[in-house]
Structure 1
Amino acid sequence: MSVGYRLFDSAQMYHNEKELAQAIKASTIKRKEVFITTKLSSGTNYENTKRSIQSSLSALDLDYIDLLLIHSPYPQAKEMYRAMEEFYHQGAIKALGISNFDTQQYLEFIKTCKIIPAVNQLQVHVFFQRESLQQIMQKHGTIMQAWSPFAAGKNNFFTNETLLKIGKKYHKTPAQVGLRYLIERNVNVIPKSSKKERMSENLNLFDFTLSREDLSAIKKLDRNQSLFGWDM
């Protein structure tokens, strides 16, 4: 928090909601100055999902959640979302979203949504850029948010020759170039780090702009496939 991070991404599956609540309470930051995201695990049905949402509110010790996501395209996702919409109308959730929905799943899901998901949180990075899905979501008003924008270091992300070469021009690291590329594509990024100096580095992205040549070079890194076996 001390370096300026104000968005906190949690989930029932991570078992970190109570710890996040304790950290926010221990800080001097006002509630309105932080943005809390959490994700629902499978709620099985409408009533159980309502109880699940209430459980997250209690664990986080909050009157409202800024963004609530369905963690995966569960078979009962549409029923879960109906419960989420109810909490949204009550003011207990400020924005609704989904996570890990591919193109077909997204298009099928929004057919029954009264409120179009504000966010679809996905695996997105320079090796898996997902531009076609982003274009489809933009037409419907859904923002692409990138989890693991560093590809968890796979494919030698941090020593990639293209990212190193571009970074040298701007005195930036491959990590900063990779994040900047996504930002310039209007992808919302949530990089993960436990090191304070890396957190500061991840925020230092707004004093340079990639050239057309840079963008073209990075686009060529796209392999158009997942790097994580469980996210296929």
Structure 2
Amino acid sequence: MTKTLVAFFSRADENYFGGAMRYVKVGNTETVVSIINNLIEADTFKIEMKEPYSPVYMTCIEEAKRGIAGSLRKLNLDYIDLYLIHQPYGDVEGAWKAMEEAKAEGKIHSIGVSNMSVALWNKFVPHVNIKPAVNQVEFNPLFQQKEIRALIKETDTKLEAWYPLGHGDANLLSHEIITTLANKYGKNPGQIILRFEVQDGVITLPKSTNKERIKTNLDIFDFTLTNEEMEAIRQMDTGKGSHNPDAPGVEEHLRSAFVIED
């Protein structure tokens, strides 16, 4: 299944792969890399990885360095285009220092963070030398992260969306504004949502294992939403998502739920 999807992904003109060690089943990373190397030249694709040891699993800077080295080894690459801290807890400063050093050494091109709320951002980012290129957070029309978007704009940090389609939330996909626009433009609701996000400047990476869905997710560049339509979708924002990084017990849950072995 993995081989089939990666090969199809490349033929669909998708050129960006993201991953994290907690997502990877045994052998999947090696399979993906093998197929990519056989299909195309290495510099055609962009590779994003999340730090496997930090911050949930990391206790010191040396473990972060070991995680970076392990990612490069498993991917069989000289460098990774974008490397993210997966969850902003634990020794975030140590992880970031290791990533800054790896960037200086040419092992990583860009470094960023994931799941940073305003409180976590203000606790961490003002004290680092290199500002995050990306903050990957939950984002979709029902949860537009307006506060953190305004804050990260100050450092020219880009917002990258996970759950850009709301993880199949029927309240989103069947929303009257979305379905009306889908009918107008001859698109499906997901395409309207992705078009809104891309047009609004969000880096949007929808996940799918369905070949036809992968194709339609890319078919969003032959139309443009009007300013009025963009504003109508902005008004859908509820300010609530499925994950709150600041909620009591979140850090403890993440520390106990996942174990990464090199």
Scaled by the length of structure 2, the TM-score of the pair is: 0.84
Q: Confirm or deny that 1:113 pairs with 2:128.
A: yes
> 11, 18, 21: which is aligned to 1:9?
18
8 Å CA contact retained: 1:124, 1:146: yes
Q: Confirm or deny that 1:176 pairs with 2:191.
A: yes
Q: Give a deviation string over 1:141-167, Cα, whole Å, max 9, x none.
A: 110000110110124332222101011
Q: Give a deviation string over 1:14-60, Cα, whole Å, max 9, x none.
A: 12595234223224111100111110132221111101111111111
Q: Give 1:78 shift.
A: 1.1
Partner of 1:202: 217
Partner of 1:29: 40
Q: Distance in 2 between matches of 1:158 and 1:231?
A: 27
DSSP 3-state at the match of 2:159: strand
Q: Distance in 2 between matches of 1:138 and 1:38?
A: 23
8 Å CA contact retained: 1:71, 1:100: yes
8 Å CA contact retained: 2:115, 2:245: no
Q: Distance in 2 between matches of 1:231 and 1:108?
A: 12
8 Å CA contact retained: 1:98, 1:121: yes
Q: Mapping of 1:179-194 within 5 angstroms? A: 179-194=194-209
Distance 1:231 1:103, change over 3 A: closer
Q: Mapping of 1:1-232 within 5 angstroms? A: 1-16=10-25, 19-26=28-35, 27-41=38-52, 42=54, 43-228=58-243
Q: Distance in 2 between matches of 1:137 and 1:226?
A: 19
The answer to which structure, 1 or 2, has the higher relative contact order (CA under 8 A, 6+ apart) is 2
Q: Distance in 2 between matches of 1:218 and 1:48?
A: 43
Deviating beyond 4 angstroms after TM superposition, the runs of 4 or more aligned structure 1 residues are 228-232
Scaled by the length of structure 1, the TM-score of the pair is: 0.94
The 10-residue stretch of structure 1 (42-51 or 77-86) with the greater mean CA deviation from structure 2: 42-51
How many correspondences in the alignment? 232
The 10-residue stretch of structure 1 (188-197 or 35-44) with the greater mean CA deviation from structure 2: 35-44
DSSP 3-state at the match of 1:4: coil
DSSP 3-state at the match of 2:169: helix
8 Å CA contact retained: 1:11, 1:17: no
Q: How many percent of aligned residue pairs carry the same amino acid?
A: 33
RMSD over equivalenced CA pairs, Å: 1.7
AA of the residue aligned to 2:214: M
Provide structure 2 residue ranges, at least 5 long, that are not aligned to the other structure.
1-9, 248-262
DSSP 3-state at the match of 1:66: strand
Q: Give a deviation string over 1:187-219, Cα, whole Å, max 9, x none.
A: 100101101111111111111111122112211
DSSP 3-state at the match of 2:108: coil
